[in-house]
């Protein structure tokens, strides 16, 4: 029995399951302060005899295993979570092997092992929801350098007709500031789900997201791009993004996945809403193996 945590900015999903990705039981908790949320997380796993635990967390987080603050949530603006020793708190309570990474890296791992990217060894997973984040698996390994990727905060060219200033507290009009769910609501005065039939909304959204994907393709060269999160449930976005990516690249990356089969290259998650929690289960599997 393995344990998995998908720790999101608005909700925690805790689950137990098997090495093959089968989820046996799960609970969902609101992400409040650590004092309000973590005791319920620990209580859930103490009810099950888990052999290892995988954690995919909202960030930024410290994923350097040689760091004194490995497993901490770092510079988040979320009240109560800044510098919180997330992993150490779990270790002190549960005493099992653990693997810790970002929620989007976990989702990327889940999609490579059991989802839409099973046919390749490299993929990029991007979530577009209350924020924007991305994780990557490259030749079977999670992408990590000085820290984890923060692809949601790249700068994008502003559309000439877009007067919205952006909402990111750090960078203003970065990708997240211009294209995450709150940007849609603040720009148009309604939530995205209420704007489904407004073509101009999704044309503008795809304008920003396609710029980001162009940069990721040129820098990381993923073998598949998977787009999840609440905003991407607007399925009309996929053909708009795919077309704009082709236009922006303008034939420069001359591979069939982009020139001819882009609808099979930029795709929704094969695991649906379970990409993150399944990926966390795969982190637990790695913790057990290591």
Residue 155 in any domain: the answer is yes
Domain around 188: 116-267
On whether residue 111 sits in a domain, the answer given is: no
Q: Give the residue-averaged pLDDT of 60-83.
A: 92
**Same domain, residue pair 153 and 251:** yes
Specify if 29 maps to a domain.
Answer: yes
Same domain? For 144 and 6 the reply is no
What is the rounded CA–CA span in Å between residue 50 and residue 247? 49
Q: Do residues 210 and 257 share a domain? A: yes
pLDDT digit string, tens, across residues 121-152:
999 999 999 999 999 999 999 998 888 899 99
pLDDT on residue 145:
86
Confidence of residue 275 (pLDDT cuts 50, 70, 90): very high
Same structural domain, 71 and 201: no
Q: Is residue 28 part of a domain?
A: yes
H or E element that contains 195: none
Question: Phi first, then psi: what are they for 7, rounded to 5°?
Answer: -95, 100
What is the DSSP-derived secondary structure letter of residue 152?
G
| Within a domain: 216 | yes
Are residue 84 and residue 135 in the same domain, yes or no? no
In a domain, 191, yes or no: yes
Residue 76 pLDDT greater than 90, yes or no: no
* CA-angle at 94, arms to 20 and 110, nearest 5°: 25
- Same domain for 134 and 98: no
pLDDT score at 142: 94
One domain, residues 167 and 193: yes
Encode pLDDT of 223-235 as tens digits.
999 999 999 999 9
> What pLDDT, in 10s, does the model give residues 169-208?
999 999 999 999 999 999 999 999 999 999 999 999 999 9
Residues 82 and 171 in one domain: no
pLDDT of 101 strictly over 90 = yes
Q: What does the mean pLDDT of the chain come to?
A: 96
| 261 and 148 together in one domain | yes
Task: Please state the domain count of the chain.
Answer: 2
**pLDDT cut 90: percent of the chain above it:** 94
Q: Does the structure show a pLDDT above 80 at 117?
A: yes
The tokens 């998977």 sit on which residue? 226
Q: Quick one: 82 and 149 in the same domain?
A: no
In a domain, 110, yes or no: no
User: What pLDDT score was predicted for residue 228?
Assistant: 97
CATH assignment at residue 230? 3.30.420.40
Judge whether residue 77 has pLDDT over 90.
Answer: no
pLDDT for 9 equals 86
pTM of the model: 0.94
123 vs 146: CA distance, rounded Å: 20
């Amino acid at each position: 029995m393995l344990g998995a945590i998908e720790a999101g900015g608005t909700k925690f999903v805790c689950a137990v399951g098997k090495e093959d990705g089968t989820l046996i039981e799960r609970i969902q908790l609101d992400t409040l302060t650590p004092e309000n949320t973590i005791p319920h997380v620990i209580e859930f796993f103490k009810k099950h005899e888990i052999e290892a635990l995988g954690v995919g967390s909202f960030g930024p987080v410290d994923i350097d295993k040689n760091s004194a603050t490995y497993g901490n949530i770092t510079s988040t603006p979320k009240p109560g979570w800044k510098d919180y020793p997330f992993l150490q708190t779990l270790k002190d309570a549960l005493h099992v092997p653990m693997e810790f990474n970002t929620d989007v890296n976990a989702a990327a791992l889940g999609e490579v092992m059991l989802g839409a990217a099973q046919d390749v060894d490299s993929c990029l997973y991007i979530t577009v929801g209350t924020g924007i984040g991305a994780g990557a698996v490259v030749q079977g390994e999670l992408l990590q350098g000085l820290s984890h990727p923060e692809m949601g905060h790249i700068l994008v060219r502003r559309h000439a007709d877009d007067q919205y200033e952006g909402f990111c507290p750090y960078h203003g009009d970065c990708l997240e500031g211009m294209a995450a769910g709150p940007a849609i609501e603040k720009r148009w005065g309604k939530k995205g789900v209420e704007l489904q039939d407004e073509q101009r909304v999704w044309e503008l959204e795809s304008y920003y997201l396609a710029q980001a994907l162009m940069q990721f393709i040129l820098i990381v060269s993923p073998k598949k791009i998977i787009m999840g999160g609440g905003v991407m449930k607007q399925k009309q976005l996929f053909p708009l993004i795919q077309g704009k990516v082709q236009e922006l690249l303008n034939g420069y990356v001359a591979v069939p996945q982009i020139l001819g089969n882009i609808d099979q290259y930029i795709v929704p998650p094969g695991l649906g809403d379970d990409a993150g929690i399944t990926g966390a289960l795969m982190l637990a599997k790695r913790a057990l193996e290591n």
